[in-house]
Structure 1
C-alpha cells in the first residue's frame, strides 16, 4: 500500500476556500432544501478531489474539516467513509487518511462503460434532434471556445460536462448521464491533468464540433463514430499525463469497501 509522499499535503483551508462561493449559495437556500452536514462535507470534499484541488496523496484532517464547517466530527467521518467507498480517499493505520491516487485499472473499465453509453446516446439523439437542440449545442461550443481563449480550465471542464449532458437530454436519457458521471469519477480527476496540455482543449472543442456537425446533417452513424473517436482519445492522452506526474497514479486501489478499522 502506498504512503503519502512529502510535498503532496494541501492546506485544507486553501482547498475549502475554492468552494466558498458554492457553500455560501447553499447556505442561503431554504432550510427544507439544505443538505445535511454530512452531505455538505461530502459534496465539497468530493468536488475538491475530482477537480484536483486536493491532489492525490494530500492528507485529510477530519478535525480541521469539522472546524471549517462548524460541525462535529461525526458528519465529517460519514463523508470520508463515503469517499473511501468511492475510491477517492484511502485510510491506512500507519499513514492516516489521504486522497487516493488515480487507479489505472479502473480507468479502462470506466471508459468502456462511458463509450458504450455515450455512443448510444448520440445515436438516439440523432433521431430526435431539433433545430433548437443544435442551437443549444452550438451555444455550448461557443462557451468552450471562450474558455480556451481565457485559458479557464475549470470552467472549460464544466462546459464540457454541460455539452455531454445536453446530448443525453436531447436523446431523452437524462438518467443515463447521471450513471455516466458516477462511472467516470476517476477519469475526471485525470482529465484535470490533461486539459492544461498545449492544444488539448482546442482538440476537444474540434471533436465536439464534429459530433454536432454530423447530428445537424442527420448522419446518425457518422455522429456516433465521431463520439467514439472523441472518447477513444482519452486513454492515449492519459499515458502522457501519467509519465509527467507518475506520483498521482497507482496500478490499482486496495479494497477498502469491507468493514475494517476505519468503520
Structure 2
C-alpha cells in the first residue's frame, strides 16, 4: 500500500497518485474501458478521496479518463478520428523540423544521434520495451533540439502522449520494435546526407506506419475503441 506519510516535500499526495495511475494506464496495466472509482483507488493507496479526485481530474484533462456524473469513471477508449487528427498534426510539425535539420546538420549532430541509436539497439536486444519507448521519445526530441527547435517537440510530445498506449501495444511485438529502429536509422541516414527529400519521405513513412498498427489493434481488440 502507498504510504501518504512519506510523500516528499516536492510532491503532493495527488501528484504521486496521478503519476502511478498515469503509468498504469499508459502501460496498459489498466485497460481501455476499465471502470475505476475514487473510493477503490483511495483504499488502494491508503489516502483520502480528495487527492484521488484531483488525480482523476488531471487524467481527464489528458484525455485518459472519462468522468461521468452519477456513473462510473472509465479509462478512455481510443478514438480513431482523434488519432487521425493527432497523427496529422504531428506529421506536419515533424516534416518542418526535419527540413530545418537538413539545412544545418553536421558531424557533431550525427554523433549525438548515433549514441541514441546505439542505445535503442541495445534496448531491442535486451527486450526492454520501456527503455526503447523512452529512447524513441529522446530520438525525436533530439532532432528538434539539434535543429534549434526545442519547442516543436512540445507539440510532438503532446501528440505522442495521446497515442502512447497504442504505441506500447504495437511495440509489444519485437518485430515491430525492429521496424521502428530501422525507421530511425533511415531518418538519421537521410539527415547525415542532408537530403531533404529522403528525410521527409522517411518521416512520412515512419508516422504513417501507425495506420497499419491501428487497423491491426482494432481487429484484435475492438473493445478498446469507441
Q: Which residue of 2 aligns with 1:261?
A: none
Residues 50 and 186, structure 1, Cα contact 8 Å, conserved in 2: no
Contact 2:34 2:74 in 1 (8 A): yes
Asked if the contact 1:102/1:186 (under 8 Å) is kept, the reply is no
How many residues are aligned here?
Answer: 224
| 1:201 aligns to 2:177 (yes or no) | yes
1:76 deviates by 1.3
Q: How far apart are 1:199 and its partner, in Å?
A: 1.3
Whole-Å Cα distance in 2 between the matches of residues 174 and 45 of structure 1? Answer: 28
- 2:28 equivalent among 31, 40, 52: 52
Between the aligned partners of 1:27 and 1:86, the Cα distance in structure 2 is 23
CA shift, 1:123, in A, is 1.1
Whose helix fraction is larger, Structure 1's or Structure 2's? 2
Q: How does 1:104-119 map to 2 (within 5 A)?
A: 104-119=80-95
User: TM-score when scaled to structure 2?
Assistant: 0.89
1:161-200 aligned within 5 A: 161-200=137-176
Residue 193 of structure 2 aligns with which residue? 217
- For the Cα contact (< 8 Å) 1:50–1:189, is it kept in 2? yes
Q: Distance in 1 between matches of 2:67 and 2:124?
A: 37
Structure 2: runs of 5 or more not aligned: none
C-alpha contact 1:103 1:186 (8 A) present in aligned 2: no
Is the Cα contact below 8 Å between 1:37 and 1:75 reproduced in 2? yes
Is contact 2:37–2:73 with CA below 8 Å preserved after alignment?
yes
2:73 is paired with a residue whose SS is strand
Deviation at 1:148, TM superposition (A): 1.6
Structural RMSD (CA): 2.3
